[in-house]
A and B are shown apart, each in its own frame.
Chain A
């Protein structure tokens, strides 16, 4: 055996073999049948590291068909390094068309954001999930948390939120904000900012893949998704209190960019496609001339 082994020139469509894809599809279907339930699956080693989107990549690989148009975002942007890397992986192994336009994509793999533009019933949103268990930081043991889910025993989570209020005067969770889906399972929405939580009741199918933790879960279209809160401390989605400095959008989630060492900063849409399409439509922000 020689070095030829290492140079694979032929891949099965979307890298994974058909048996593995079938196994993943079964897990996805089970997940869709029980919204918010974490389905164990035999996650494979992928040619990118665990923790870098291997769950999302496996779900995308099992979901893609040759006719699909694929979009990958990380932090809302198509051109962040890991999004580029994953997009190239599927260009190479599946040969599918890729796009940066949200509306044009049939499958969107995301890390940490939901696109600003509402998704349609013809689209699938695939989330990369680092820690799928919403109770993990309250109870490290999987045997315990699975028991808590099966008994619908979520008191611990409410105590945690209450303690936040007692200590800080507000619920001190700003991303990966826990939700209850279809009135049953408490679910981790992946580390999206809580600004995105209300968007999760959507027309598209949402699939969540956690490769290292070997879990898949899912939300069918229009599944009720409620962010946990209290009557007197209602859930509040939040974002930087500015318009976008490039496109002027007031309704989009913003990234803060430090401009100089004198405290100068600008706020720009984290969703790069949303920002670009608004600018192309003639919208302008405070710094749009300068940035052009």
Chain B
């Protein structure tokens, strides 16, 4: 009877074997290659890279395959791998003004130098299932044009020229590293942005949405949203100068928010900022809205008590790897604690019955 709890080791091994079989699915169906995942499920790959905080499309594809398409599980695999990697140093700050843009839109100006570039977007597709894809996709061909050579200027730069938008001061300080230091409160903005960019897309989206619905509303215009690739440069100590070591695809969103001014500031627009690995448009817009909401103290706004203004609430709960681990740990045995609760409830009931009887007598 009691022996039933034995054999944990064999049960675990068998469970893993079954899992591997389920992951493969029907062997009569061709196995997915990492290249297929990387090329054809690229937005899933992007999300895994963004929340896994590791830019490597092949590893992200592997993680998605191994996780049977469970993206949070895939993100977990990437995080656990990432933490074992040695650190050689830090790259130079990226210049997103030099980004080779695939997409660049502004909701605040009808046109601006560089123009509105829609790029590969779902925005104006009609969400009708395309049954042709079920049979065969074919090889779609998009019309080509000459790429723009000159860099695409930031839209907020035009507002800045007139002093209409708040200037962000460069403190010059090296930002703290969320992956190497414990998160402590109050957190400064670089730390908050690090936390938001690797935070769960659904959570950040929900927080951002809540600000739009009036919980710390800070009406946001998308000043600019751009997607493209940026060169990553690193100074090599032996060389004494920076060289390009690769490039990353990024999505950047700058929001322009209303601001009526305060005792110390003349009326000015303010901004929220989102920067995410890959093509992660929803996430970067949401990040910018949450970033803006978290800046209430610095901008002299009222604390309305909204969740999105509360940095302890937002940052402590945005990490889906922490959240999913702790949530799911309640599956583990808790019978020792439960036993102590059982004893306590039995004792309290006994005492209550005795006193009830005494009262009746």
Q: Which residues of A pack against B, CB within 8 Å?
A: 1-3, 5-6, 8, 15, 17, 40-47, 49-52, 54, 74-77, 79-85, 88, 111-113, 130, 141-143, 168-170, 172, 174-176, 191-195, 212, 214-215, 238-240, 246, 253-257, 259, 266, 268, 270, 290-291
Contacts and interface: CB of A to CB of B under 8 A. Distances in A.
A84 B185 contact: no
Contacts of A2: 34, 58
Main secondary structure, interface of A, reads: loop
In the complex, which range does the number of interface residues on chain B fall in?
35 or more
Nearest to A268: B2
B2 A246 contact: yes
The secondary structure that dominates the B interface is helix
17 contacts: A2-B34, A6-B59, A6-B62, A44-B83, A46-B83, A47-B80, A51-B327, A74-B332, A79-B6, A79-B8, A84-B8, A112-B334, A174-B343, A238-B340, A240-B339, A255-B339, A256-B342
Contact of A49 (B324, B347, B351): B324
Interface string B308-345: 00001000100001101111110011111101111110
Contact of A45 (B56, B79, B324): B79
B299 interface: no
B167 interface: no
A129 B325 CA distance: 13
A256 B333 CA distance: 13
A175 B341 contact: yes
Contacts of A268: 2
A5 B1 CA distance: 45
Contacts of A76: 336
Contact of A112 (B185, B336, B351): B336
Nearest to B337: A175
A143 B316 CA distance: 12
B84 interface: yes
B86 interface: yes
Nearest to A12: B84
Please list the 3 inter-chain residue pairs (A to B) with the smallest Cβ-Cβ separation, ordered nearest first: A50-B325, A51-B329, A49-B325
A193 B2 contact: no
B132 interface: no
Given A40-B184, A44-B83, A256-B342, A75 B335 contact: yes
